[in-house]
Structure formats: C-alpha cells, structure tokens
Structure 1
Amino acid sequence: MNWDLSAQPEIVQRLAGYATQGWDVAKTWVLSPAAWSQFGLLVLAFLLAWLITRRLRPYLTRVLTPAPDARGFMPMLRRFALIFLPLLLPLIAFALTAVGEQVTRSIFGSGAVIAFGKRVILFVAARSLVREIIEDPLLKVLGRFILLPVMALYVLGFLDTTIDTLNKTFINLGNISFSVMSLVRFVIAGSILFWLGRWSNDQTGNYIEKQEEIRPATRQLAVKAAELAIFGVCFLLLMNIAGIPLSTLAVLSGAIGVGLGFGLQKIASNYISGVILLLEGQATVGDFVELDNGMAGTIVKTTARAMILETFDGRWIVVPNEDFITTRVINYSDQGSSNRFEVEFSVSYTTDINTIPDIVAAAVRKHPAVLDKPEPPDVELRGFGDSGIDFGVEFWVNGLDDGKNKYTSEVRFLIWNALRDNGIEIPYPRRIIEMHEPGTT
C-alpha cells in the first residue's frame, strides 16, 4: 500500500503508518509456519487452562471457604483469597503460555505471536479484576477508565508511544507549565492515595473504637489524630509523586495564615475547640446535653467543625464546637452517670402521714431502673395544701426521663397502686357551698 498522504495532517499520516505496520505484521503472521504454531500453542494453552480451572476451582472454593461463624486472622485470609478466584483461569493460561513461548523461541527463534497472546491474557485478567473483584466505586472507576485503556494500549504495543507523546505535550497556565503525563500521574496517584487514606482511616478508627478500656473522649481524640496523620502522609506522598517541591508549601502556609486571619477565624476556632473538648472529655458521643440557648439532644457524632445532636423526635442539630466552649452546657449523661428525678403527690388530711414514707419508698424501689446509690428513694413532706398534704419522692436512675425511658410516669403508677392498696385516699379539690334565703343568716 503506497498511498501519498503528504498533503494530509500529521495525525492522519501517523495513523496510516500504524495501520501499515499492523498490516505487514498480520501478513507475516498469516504466512509464517512459526506464527501458526504459536497460534496453536495459544489455543492449546487456553483449553488446557480451562480444563484445569474447571476441576481446580470447586476444590479451592471448598478448601478456602471458612465456617460461617469463624473469626480470626486465618478465616479472614481465606475469605480474602476467595475473592481472587475469577483470576484463576487467566493466570493459569498465562503460565502455560509462558512455557509455550519458551518452546517456540527455542524451536523457531521467534515468539512474537505468543507474546501478543500473553498480553491479551493479561488484559483479560485486568478486565476480570475490574468487573468481578473490585467492589469499591472509586477503584472500579479507576479500573474502568484508566487500567483497562492502559492495558489495551499495552496489548496493541502503543503504550510507550502514548507515554512519550503525553510527556511531550505541555499545558501552559500563565507562568506554570506542566506535561499532560504529569497531570495524568497526579490524578491517578491522588485517587489511589485518597482511597488508601480513607481505607486506612476506617480500619484505624474501627480498631480504636473497639478499645473499650480507653475513655470515649480519648478514643475520639485518637481517631482524629490518626486521621490527620494518615491524610498528612498521603498529602506529602502526593506532592512528592507530582514533583512539587515541599519548599513551595511555605508560600501555601503563608496564604493559609492570611486566610485564617481574615475569613477562617470561625473554622479555626471550631477546630481548636473540638480538640479541647476531646482532650478534656466534657462532652462526647453518647452524652445528652443542653446548651444555654435551649437546644438539647444526644451527641451522636463529632466532627472537626461541629457536634451533631439528635433530639428525641429524631431531628439532628449541628452545633459548632465553639458553642460548647464559650457558652454554658448542661451535661445530663456524662457517659452513664446517674440522674435524679422527683414525683410529687398528695394524700388526704385523714391519712396517718407517718406511714407514707415507708409505703411510697418501698413502691418506688420496686422499679428495676431505680438505684440505691448515690441515694435510695427519699420521700419528703413538702407542705400542707388546700385539699391535702403534699409529698415528693426523689429517686436516682441511669439515663434520662424521655425518649424510650418514662421513669416518672412509671413511678407515678407505682405510687398510685401502693396508696390504693393501703386504702390511702388521694385528695381532689372540694368546696362547700352554703346557700341562704334572703333575710336569713
């Protein structure tokens, strides 16, 4: 094929050159006995790999599958190995093809066809990895749009040429100039490092949260410190991979300092307040708190900027960390500390009030949530009302009298039943009305 393409654009001429080279290689392969032998070895290697995989995969599945309730390092390692079983066929085919390549090179002195087949098998393995093994959305996107195109270029033999072209193509932004290849490398490395950082942070956070002997506030602080350390290392690695000198961070830190001075005071204040709260342990996840402005709820999550409260009606309130430092905060929980509540009641004036404390205290003590420490139920005489004698009983429980817990309501039921069983009347307002006829007294 001798076409005159001198008048065509350079890209057309280059593509035509690639097509010509491919046509020449194809003719050589079709007419060469060595090439046909290599094709035959490729087919044989694939069929043999398929037969081996068909018998070996059920056996490996049975051996590697642990008991459903098995825990520990070895069961986890076996479950991890099971994930990669879809790669068994291409890996066996690759190994057999490599053996066939050595045979053909020793006999014919050439192995181009079978080497091409090995690259195709690697592409099949990469495709199985992306489609059947990788489950993380970010890694799946990277595999689909980066790994598979790179493997396709490698199979066709265009990978080195493509890399060279990307290295020679530059993008200019003012005084800044960088190659397209460096941009691609930055995106790939940044995505992988971000995923590794997120995965490491999740694993570290889960491990720290399981250490129940450590105070909850200390665990939260450790999680935040680990998060900063992990993503800090990822950032430094990314700068190194991208070829950005760390000395330029001095300028960046100066810009950040100016930004903090003008527009980021609140963000910095909230972040530092969050660290102080974690260090002092005044309020942490699980505590029920009430702020000075009346907002109240259980702390369900702490972030670098704010704490999230969940009210008893299921609503979430985002409260900046600074509010916990600069305003008054009432902590009702303090990680499981007891709280005191009281219930008021009255009895009629015909009652022997000396028996009331023992009767009511014994009734309240029957409630499973009522504590004997720091104090047992205490019945107090509060006053003499218009209709009856007023009493109050104080009792301690772990938790709050709201949401799923209705301590005061349940205690009122106990008091009512105890007074009724002992024949004690609970008074209600009574009025005596005297009516006189006119002219009488």
Structure 2
Amino acid sequence: MEWDLSAQPPIVQKAVGFALQGYEIALGWLLSPAAWSQFAILVVAYLAAVILARKIRPPLVRLLTPPESNLSALSKLRRNLLLFVPLLVPVFAYALAGIGEQVIRSVFGTGTVIAFGKRLFLVLAARIFVRDILSDPFLKLLGRYVLLPAMALYAFGLLDVLTERLSATMISLGNISFSVMSLLRGVISGAILFWLGRWSNDQSAAYINKQEEMRPATRQLAAKAAELMIFGVAFLLLMNIMGVPLTSLAVLGGAIGVGLGFGLQKIASNYISGVILLLEGQATVGDYVELDNGESGTIVKTTARAMILETFDGRWIVVPNEDFITTRVINYSDQGSANRIEVAFSVSYDTDINLVPDIISKAVATHPGVLSKPEPPDVELRGFGDSGIDFGVEFWVNGIDDGKNKYASDVLFLIWNALKEHNIEIPYPRRVIEMRNAPPEA
C-alpha cells in the first residue's frame, strides 16, 4: 500500500518512512536470519553486561571508596568517579553490542537492528545518569526535560530532522535575525553556562575567603571581581553560541546607557559606592556600625547594591551603599579595633574617696575582656550628687557592649563586689519628711 506524502512536512514523511521501514523489518524477521541474529546478539550483550557489571562492581567500589577522614583532591576525585558506577551495565552492553555489530556486518552485510539497540543502550545510560547521578535539582530538571527527550529522538533517528527544521525557521528582532534552533540552543546553553558560573563563583568565593592573610575588604573585592569576570565570560560565550555578533549589541548598549542616565542612576550610584567601600575598607562584613538616623547593627552581607545589617534582636536592615558614602556612619568595630566604654557608679559621703580609684581599677582589670592597651582602666571623680559621690570608670575592650558581649554588666558586678569587699556603702536616695499641722499623736 502506498500513499502520496509529497504535500506533507518532511518530518511527517520521515516518520512514515521509519514506520514503513519498521514494518518491513518486522516482516523480514520472519524470513531473515540476519534480523533474528542481531536481536539475539542484543539480548546476549545486555545479559552479559549485567553479569559482568555484578562481577566488577564490588572490587571497583572498594577501589574508588577512600577513607572518610581523607579529604584530599584525589579522594574527592575518587568519590566523584564512584557516582558513575551505575553506568556500568549500559556501557558494557553498548561495547559488547558494538563488537557483535562488527561480526554481523561481516557475515550478513547489515546491522540496522544492532545499531538501533546501541542507541537504546545510550538512552538507558542517559536515564540512569539523570536518575541516579545528577543531584542538583536544576541539572536533574534539565536532564529530565532536555537530555532524555533528545536521546529518545536520537534513538529513533528523528533528532537530525527536527534540528534541520528548527534551523530553517528564522526569527527577526530588529537588525538581529536568528533561527529557532539558535534560540533553543541559547536557552539550554545559557542555563548550563550560568549554572556553571554560579558553581564557579561559589568555589572561587570559598577559596578567596580562606585566605586569612588578606584583609576582609580585599577578600570581598576579589570575590566581586571574580564574580563579574565569571558571569561576563559566560555572557560572551552565550552570545557566541547563539551566533549573535557583539556589534549587534551596540543598540542595546546605548539603551542601557540611557536607562542608567535616567531611571537607573540610583542603582549605578549604589554599585559604584559599593566598589569604593570595598577599595577603602571603611565598612565590611563583621563591623558594627551606627547610621546617621540612629539605627545600628552588624554588617552580615554585602551586595552590589546594599549592605545588610543585622540588629541584636534579629532584624535585617538593608542600607543602600550610597548612604555609607554620603552620610555620617559610626564604625564601632573596624575589624577588631578597640572601643572605650564608660560605666558610672556612686559611693556614700562617708567613704574615703582617695581609696576608690585604686580599688575599682584593680577590680575592673580582672575582667578577661578588658584591655591594658591603649590604656588600663581609669577611674575619675565626676561630681557630688544629692545622695552620694559620683564616679566613672573608663576601660577599653575589643568589640561592642551589646549582644554576646556584656562588658558594662560584668564590670558593674565587679564594682559591686569590690565595694562590698571593702565595706564601702553604695548610696541610695534618702529624704526627711516634715509633717506640718499634724496632731500630737502623729
């Protein structure tokens, strides 16, 4: 039976042709020993691959499994190779089928069935790769909806036909023209490239942050520079893969420039301010800062647009980088620099005040967080109050008096205990009440 398919699309003609070819092959199996022998070789190749994989898997796993305490680069490579052990069966089956194909072609002069079976083994390998080896959710999603359908089309010989049809379909966007295949290839390649960029950025940032000899601001600047370089290279590679000439992006670059000049000037200002902050190192991660509006917190993260402050009650404050340049910001930390704290106390008027400075300064100096440099604890007379004599003790510490550090509270405890130990009274308000026109009984 014959049909006139000249008016149908090439892919339909190809599909019908494969269907008729499959029908003829199925009929030929009843009469041709070559087809049955090829099918038998595929079955034998698969069974032999299963048996061979079972024999090789245990010693291979023992060889590739490093000690848990070993964290060297070679051990990481061995652990990565261990992930590919499930591919033994389809790989062995493909290799054995290839050997059988050479024998069959030398005897019968054909190997169509074995060639199709080999492609099915590749589909099986792709399925195992997506299901058992890929762990990243994005890569697993990409493998499930891109790799597996592409391998299925390849197995049935439809991948080239579909590629030609998509390549012939053109899309025009202004002065730029590209095919649907280029767009599809660009989307897939872009997803993979930017995933690799993100992974490379994480690895480079982790490596840079381990360099303790570098200043924190320098480490952050190096991490930002590496991030820009990685994603810039990824963008250029994507343009090359899609076949878009860089000269065609001049119009887009001009539009971006106009946008930066009008609507995006704040974003550009914040980005440039962030670079200046990293270069000067005036504020970086770990510093405790107080803004001009009174808000304060520890810098926990820096981005291209803003600084993230975390207060001691767990709130996050997003502060644009420009505010650190154009407004007054108090930095209490500066990565380990000392800060001076003052604590006030009073003693009664019955006290010999000449003894107080020595007693209190020695007591405060016993605190492990109080520094002897740039100055040891210093006790000063502040004035004569209504109920007692007012003093203040100044001392230097690394850090700030908030959150995990309770310097002022600890020093007040030390002052209390030292005054009690020397029988020095801490005054409290006293008042004399005179009652006028009260009866004699009162």
Q: TM-score, normalised by structure 2?
A: 0.94
Shift, 1:347, TM fit: 0.7
Shift, 1:12, TM fit: 6.1
Question: What amino acid is the match of 1:147?
Answer: L
Residue 290 (1) aligns with residue 294 (2) = no
SS at match of 1:353: coil
- Structure 2 unaligned segments of length 5 or more: list them: none
Residues 383 and 390, structure 2, Cα contact 8 Å, conserved in 1: yes
Shift, 1:50, TM fit: 0.8
Query: What is the alpha-carbon distance in structure 2 between the residues aligned to residue 356 and residue 177 of structure 1?
Result: 87
Query: What is the alpha-carbon distance in structure 1 between the residues aligned to residue 374 and residue 429 of structure 2?
Result: 37
Partner of 2:131: 131
Query: What is the alpha-carbon distance in structure 1 between the residues aligned to residue 175 and residue 389 of structure 2?
Result: 89
Question: What amino acid is the match of 2:395?
Answer: F
Give the direction of change, closer, same or farther, for the CA distance of 1:437–1:237 in structure 2 (3 Å limit).
closer
Partner of 1:49: 49
Partner of 2:104: 104
- Structure 1 unaligned segments of length 5 or more: list them: none
With 182-191 and 120-129 compared, the bigger mean Cα shift is at 182-191
Residue 321 (1) aligns with residue 309 (2) = no
Partner of 1:412: 412
Partner of 1:279: 279
SS at match of 1:351: coil
Partner of 1:367: 367
1:226-305 equivalences in 2 (<5 Å):
226-305=226-305
Identity in percent: 72
**Deviation per residue, 1:66-94 (Å, 9 max, x gap):** 11121111111111111111112111211
Residues 288 and 297, structure 2, Cα contact 8 Å, conserved in 1: yes
Query: What is the alpha-carbon distance in structure 2 between the residues aligned to residue 251 and residue 8 of structure 1?
Result: 41
Residues 273 and 322, structure 2, Cα contact 8 Å, conserved in 1: yes
Partner of 1:37: 37
With 173-182 and 159-168 compared, the bigger mean Cα shift is at 173-182
With 266-275 and 194-203 compared, the bigger mean Cα shift is at 194-203
**Deviation per residue, 1:82-131 (Å, 9 max, x gap):** 11111121112111111111222222222211111111111100111111
Equivalences, count: 438
Shift, 1:31, TM fit: 3.0
Residue 390 (1) aligns with residue 390 (2) = yes
Partner of 2:93: 93
Residues 285 and 301, structure 1, Cα contact 8 Å, conserved in 2: yes
Residue 344 (1) aligns with residue 344 (2) = yes
Question: What amino acid is the match of 2:68?
Answer: P
Give the direction of change, closer, same or farther, for the CA distance of 1:6–1:78 in structure 2 (3 Å limit).
closer
Shift, 1:149, TM fit: 0.9
Q: TM-score, normalised by structure 1?
A: 0.94
With 243-252 and 203-212 compared, the bigger mean Cα shift is at 243-252
Partner of 1:159: 159
Residues 287 and 333, structure 2, Cα contact 8 Å, conserved in 1: yes
Residues 29 and 113, structure 1, Cα contact 8 Å, conserved in 2: no
With 10-19 and 162-171 compared, the bigger mean Cα shift is at 10-19
Partner of 1:202: 202
Residues 374 and 396, structure 2, Cα contact 8 Å, conserved in 1: yes
Give the direction of change, closer, same or farther, for the CA distance of 1:432–1:373 in structure 2 (3 Å limit).
same
Residues 382 and 392, structure 1, Cα contact 8 Å, conserved in 2: yes
Shift, 1:352, TM fit: 1.2
With 202-211 and 66-75 compared, the bigger mean Cα shift is at 66-75
Question: What amino acid is the match of 1:417?
Answer: N
Shift, 1:7, TM fit: 9.1
Query: What is the alpha-carbon distance in structure 2 between the residues aligned to residue 118 and residue 409 of structure 1?
Result: 76
Shift, 1:231, TM fit: 0.8
Shift, 1:151, TM fit: 0.5
Question: What amino acid is the match of 1:209?
Answer: N
Residues 197 and 230, structure 1, Cα contact 8 Å, conserved in 2: yes
Query: What is the alpha-carbon distance in structure 2 between the residues aligned to residue 59 and residue 199 of structure 1?
Result: 32
Give the direction of change, closer, same or farther, for the CA distance of 1:426–1:97 in structure 2 (3 Å limit).
same
Give the direction of change, closer, same or farther, for the CA distance of 1:4–1:276 in structure 2 (3 Å limit).
closer
Give the direction of change, closer, same or farther, for the CA distance of 1:202–1:18 in structure 2 (3 Å limit).
same
Shift, 1:14, TM fit: 5.7
Question: What amino acid is the match of 2:129?
Answer: L
Shift, 1:23, TM fit: 1.2
With 220-229 and 130-139 compared, the bigger mean Cα shift is at 130-139
Give the direction of change, closer, same or farther, for the CA distance of 1:234–1:244 in structure 2 (3 Å limit).
same
With 296-305 and 168-177 compared, the bigger mean Cα shift is at 168-177
Query: What is the alpha-carbon distance in structure 2 between the residues aligned to residue 375 and residue 20 of structure 1?
Result: 96
Query: What is the alpha-carbon distance in structure 1 between the residues aligned to residue 114 and residue 17 of structure 2?
Result: 24
Residues 284 and 299, structure 2, Cα contact 8 Å, conserved in 1: yes
SS at match of 1:354: coil
SS at match of 1:101: helix
Question: What amino acid is the match of 1:210?
Answer: K
Residue 353 (1) aligns with residue 356 (2) = no
Partner of 2:330: 330
Partner of 2:64: 64
Query: What is the alpha-carbon distance in structure 2 between the residues aligned to residue 273 and residue 6 of structure 1?
Result: 66
Query: What is the alpha-carbon distance in structure 2 between the residues aligned to residue 173 and residue 30 of structure 1?
Result: 56
Partner of 2:170: 170
Query: What is the alpha-carbon distance in structure 2 between the residues aligned to residue 14 and residue 154 of structure 1?
Result: 13
Query: What is the alpha-carbon distance in structure 1 between the residues aligned to residue 200 and residue 60 of structure 2?
Result: 30
Query: What is the alpha-carbon distance in structure 2 between the residues aligned to residue 29 and residue 336 of structure 1?
Result: 82
